[in-house]
Structure 1
Amino acid sequence: MSVQSRKGLKLHNWDDLKLILAVSRYGTMSAAANSLGMSTATISRRLEKCAEELDQTLFIRRGTRWEPTPAALVFVKLAETVTDGFPSEVDLESADPFEERVIRASMPLDICMSTLAPKVTSLLVENPGLALDIFHETKSVAFGEVDVRVSYTEPNEGRLVRFRLGEIGYNSYVSTRLVGDPTGWVEVVDLERKPTFMGQDLLQQFGQPRLRNVSLSCAINVVHEMPLVIYLPTILASSQTDLTLWPSESQETYLPVWASYHESRRLDPDVRLMLSYLKNCFDF
């Protein structure tokens, strides 16, 4: 016997209800699998199939745990109360949406500052219950550390959906007040303080940077005060009226930008919202 919503959404058997109930109760795929005598891979595969059949997100990953969505809670309640048979109709549309939720994203600081930050206000205003938790160090999508990752390199972790968002142009800049040639350079690094591959030409020309800093504003201020070069996204540099290209005929370098998320989150509304926002940020 199937369980059907008013719009024709169905779960076809009791085993699907037991599976949803187990994941909701135990919070992890492995614990649910142990309780049902199944493998974790089977649990994951069957949940994805149920979500696709219903065209509804059933669980959202929050760190190491899976939280049921309002759609899943309808079936959880049904599984807890069912006795001799299934009700013929379940109203998925009556479930209340989450009032508050957090989307966690990992991305380099320069991508955030130059491309995402200018449009983040509209995202938050249009979604009052939404909070963004953005990390500027590398976090794993595969292990659930973040919901979405943005990076310069194409991700190679397993079971990820990845696509190219676009590209960001970079160039070298000095202060408009500079007289003569620069004598060194400033490097903006991420929180992991890994050397950036964008400044290799400056490294060869000037040697080690005079300043390595995670703060863009601090680095730019130093460039205004000293005869130093800084490598910046052209979008960000265009808003700095006191910066100019160096040398004036230098060619812009373009770097690809990738987005990725776990394939189990294909129907996750928050992931979809974040991806739509990211695509909009690169629409220029």
Structure 2
Amino acid sequence: MADWDDLKVFLAVARGESLSRAGRVLKLDAATVGRRVARLEQALDARLFTRSPQGYVLTDEGGRLVAHAEAIETAMERAAEALAGPSEGISGQIRIGAPDGCANYLLPQVVAGIVAQNPGLEVQIVALPRVFNLSRREADMVIAVSKPEQGRVIATKITDYHLHLAASDRYLREAPPLKTLADLRAHRVIGYIPDMIFDRELDYLADLGVEQPPMASNSVSVQLNLIRQGAGVGVAHDFALPAAAGVRRVLTSDFSLTRAFWLIRHADDRKLPRIERFAAALVAGMRAEMRALEGQLQDG
């Protein structure tokens, strides 16, 4: 018979695909993690992982065990919340995965407000320009720029956001005139590295016919800093521009994009009041902050 502690180790290895990564999550050394996996395999009389130099890969038996272990994990979390008693506040640790633009220019002020009202809450923001894997529990919830088409998840539309061409005042003073989209041919354009665009919703320059920008980054923050330094013209999030002194929108009547942020969560997490309360506060806070940030813009 397997115990919950060993199943918890099993889930960490399944999600991290290595003993060392699982150990960091669990605060155990890799050797201990390995012994616990071996003990679970012996108890179940099943081989749960295939070991290789590249890591630990689930076997068919291990894959079947994951769903049952996650159900137990959810039940244990619900039990812990029930034992803690009713509470209006939010406590514990919650990890959010988000694209770096959202994580840098929108989430900090929203999360700071939520934590200020919930002293027992610990929030981790993981800012990476890529898609997060909820099944591996890389995060408790994810902010995405497109709604997932499959998977056992809850997808909630948070808010629309807008993007426009932007440039620094310094660049506009020194560069050729920029009065129409056709004038862009005489300007340096900043954008994403084409083969590192992780979601089709981020292919902003396709609408402008720009396939290979002369200056590019996989990071929204780097792109905005290039614009701030007068390196050229780029597509910028309206909500990020209040943080970029000396940068303004240009050609707003000729070029405008609307995208959306979605909050993606595990389907089982609808049973966890703590996660439900945090998700509601996050969505409300992001909507309010978006209205405030997009309301203070300077055009050129």
What TM-score comes out, normalization by structure 2 length? 0.59
Alignment partner of 1:156 is 2:149: yes
CA RMSD of aligned residues (A): 4.1
Contact in 2 for aligned 1:161/1:260 (Cα 8 Å):
yes
Contact in 2 for aligned 1:142/1:158 (Cα 8 Å):
no
Distance 1:40 1:194, change over 3 A: closer
Structure 2 residues not aligned, in runs of 5+: 15-39, 46-63, 179-183, 292-300
Contact in 1 for aligned 2:105/2:243 (Cα 8 Å):
no
Task: State which of 147, 158, 161 in structure 1 corresponds to 2:140.
Answer: 147
- For residues 172-205 of structure 1, the C-alpha deviation after alignment (integer angstroms, 9 at most, x for no partner) is 1111231424512222579x66483122234x24
Q: Report the identity percentage.
A: 16
C-alpha distance in 2, partners of 1:116/1:262?
Answer: 20
1:261-280 aligned within 5 A: 261-280=265-284
Task: State which of 195, 198, 214 in structure 1 corresponds to 2:204.
Answer: 198
Q: Determine the structure 2 residue equivalent to 1:105.
A: 96
C-alpha distance in 1, partners of 2:136/2:248?
Answer: 42
1:157-236 aligned within 5 A: 157-177=150-170, 178=172, 179-180=175-176, 181=178, 183-187=187-191, 194=198, 196-202=202-208, 204-205=209-210, 207-226=211-230, 228-236=232-240
Structure 1 residues not aligned, in runs of 5+: 1-17, 49-56, 61-66, 75-91
Q: What letter is aligned with 1:142? A: S
Alignment partner of 1:282 is 2:287: yes
Q: What letter is aligned with 1:133? A: Q
Q: CA deviation at 1:147?
A: 0.9
**Greater Rg over alpha carbons, structure:** 1
C-alpha distance in 2, partners of 1:46/1:238?
Answer: 44
Contact in 1 for aligned 2:224/2:236 (Cα 8 Å):
no
User: Aligned with 1:59: secondary structure?
Assistant: helix
Q: How many residues align?
A: 224
Q: What letter is aligned with 1:119? A: V
Q: CA deviation at 1:22?
A: 5.2
Q: What letter is aligned with 1:201? A: D
- For residues 9-31 of structure 1, the C-alpha deviation after alignment (integer angstroms, 9 at most, x for no partner) is xxxxxxxxx9xx95467436897
Contact in 1 for aligned 2:162/2:257 (Cα 8 Å):
yes
Task: State which of 86, 89, 93 in structure 1 corresponds to 2:85.
Answer: 93
Contact in 1 for aligned 2:154/2:264 (Cα 8 Å):
yes
Q: Determine the structure 2 residue equivalent to 1:121.
A: 112
Task: State which of 80, 85, 96 in structure 2 corresponds to 1:69.
Answer: 80
- For residues 121-178 of structure 1, the C-alpha deviation after alignment (integer angstroms, 9 at most, x for no partner) is 1122223333322222322113322110111111134221112122111111111231
- For residues 237-262 of structure 1, the C-alpha deviation after alignment (integer angstroms, 9 at most, x for no partner) is 24434222222423421112211111
Distance 1:225 1:273, change over 3 A: same
Contact in 1 for aligned 2:167/2:230 (Cα 8 Å):
no
What TM-score comes out, normalization by structure 1 length? 0.62
- For residues 216-253 of structure 1, the C-alpha deviation after alignment (integer angstroms, 9 at most, x for no partner) is 55433432443511111112224434222222423421
